Structure 1
Amino acid sequence: MRGTVPEVSSTTSHTVHLTCASRENYHHIFLNSEKLTLMARDDWVLGRTRQEAAAERIYAVATDLFAREGLDAFTIETLAARVHCSPATVYRHAGGKAKIRDEALRRAASRITDGVRRAVEHLSGSERIVTAITVALAEIRSDPLGQLMLRSIRAQDMSWLKDSAIVAGLSTELNGLTEDDELAAFWIARVVMSLIYWPAADADTERRIVQRFVAPAFEP
């Protein structure tokens, strides 16, 4: 009969519905796949992946929290609130509390030893050692986590300091300066820690002390 709409069976209707739903699901899967691919690629504005950028942001805020509130007061929940994300996002991009703490200390150690390395690049002999010690003192005192180390020493809360990446990195760097003499590196690192704990009146006085009492040990 003219004008009659053909009846569609329930089975056919269900199949059409499933086909449309499947196409929609495939569309979502494709978009999500594209999104993940884009996230893994370097962002042309950031110059790195968004994962790396997120981790950098988290570590920077964590460093500030460590410096302000100390290691013991640090929580993932506080960090997440400061970064404006969920704790799950922090765990996904940067790891748990121990990993974030270790990475923050490793980065601080890297900043300090990089400063020492640049300062002594063209020096040799005892002048190299004297400069390394005085620059290390300045770098530790100016670094946010170096300040945390100072507060820990003054409060005699040194349980974390003995395994600190800052001290380990400094010892490794000094070991290279002393031609792989581990005992010399061990001793110089403790000279630095002593002056951190009990500083002289000013930087010039500290340099004269080091020049007079440490430098002779490294003169030919």
Structure 2
Amino acid sequence: MVRRIDPDATDWLAGGNRRELAVDRIYQVAAELIRDRGFDSISVDDVAERAGCSRATLYRYVGGKAAIRDGVMARSAAAVAREVSAAVASLTGKARVVEAILVSVRAIRADAAVSDGLAAARATGMDNYVTSSKLLGDTAIELAGLDAGDETSQWVVRIVLALLAWPLADEGSERRMVESFIS
């Protein structure tokens, strides 16, 4: 009789769900490598070696390099969204919109995975995908506390992307510019 192992079961030895633990470890290592070397300078083999797993295990749990990029970006974007959400929770109106934009820019700049991912999207001509992303637009609307609307959400996303691509001299200059457009 062949005993089947439930991949979603709690592993008594690993101290949790083996799949979730492996995926978390792989994405954590990939984010560290991206931060240290940049996305284009890492390979699936680099991630597998640093995570302490085989290439086959990495592919089984997360997929190839594109899936690693997407997973790391999604996790980083969620962390940025949590940071922005916490920063604007007590704000309303124009102050919330300004802070949502500026905190987003600051958080993205601080996160190598998101910064690298956006730079890669720009370099590979995926600008249109990023600027028209429903997920990004909906997140921007929610964080900025704005009424839903494609034009509004795209405006917020484009302002954040513009500040990332063409930063001003300092955060004070960026704040003044954003405030002048929001008022």
TM-score by length of 2: 0.82
Cα distance per residue 1:131-186 (max 9 Å; x no partner): 10011011101112133146548xx6143454359x76442212233210221111
Question: Which structure 1 residue ranges, 4+ long, deviate > 4 Å from structure 2?
Answer: 43-47, 149-153
Percent of residue pairs identical: 33
Structure 1 unaligned blocks of 5 or more: 1-25
TM-score by length of 1: 0.70
Alignment of 1:81-92 (within 5 A): 81-92=49-60
- Match for residue 157 of structure 1 among 123, 128, 140: 123
Give the superposition deviation at 1:202. 1.9
User: Is 1:188 aligned to 2:121, yes or no?
Assistant: no
Asked if structure 2 preserves the Cα contact closer than 8 Å seen for 1:113 and 1:170, the reply is no
Give the superposition deviation at 1:122. 2.1
- Match for residue 9 of structure 2 among 9, 26, 41: 41
Asked if structure 1 preserves the Cα contact closer than 8 Å seen for 2:88 and 2:100, the reply is yes
User: Is 1:174 aligned to 2:140, yes or no?
Assistant: yes
> Aligned partner of 2:139: which letter?
E
Which residue is equivalent to 2:22?
54
User: Is 1:143 aligned to 2:105, yes or no?
Assistant: no
Give, in whole Å, the separation in 1 of the partners of 2:19 and 2:175: 44
Which residue is equivalent to 1:12?
none
Asked if structure 1 preserves the Cα contact closer than 8 Å seen for 2:10 and 2:16, the reply is yes
Give, in whole Å, the separation in 2 of the partners of 1:197 and 1:148: 12
Which residue is equivalent to 1:197?
165
Change (3 A) 1:202 1:128: same
Larger relative contact order, structure 1 or 2 (CA cutoff 8 Å, min sep 6): 2
Give, in whole Å, the separation in 2 of the partners of 1:122 and 1:44: 42
Give, in whole Å, the separation in 1 of the partners of 2:40 and 2:108: 21
SS in 2 for 1:106: helix
**Bigger-Rg structure (1/2):** 1
Change (3 A) 1:46 1:212: farther
Number of paired residues?
180
Change (3 A) 1:125 1:212: same
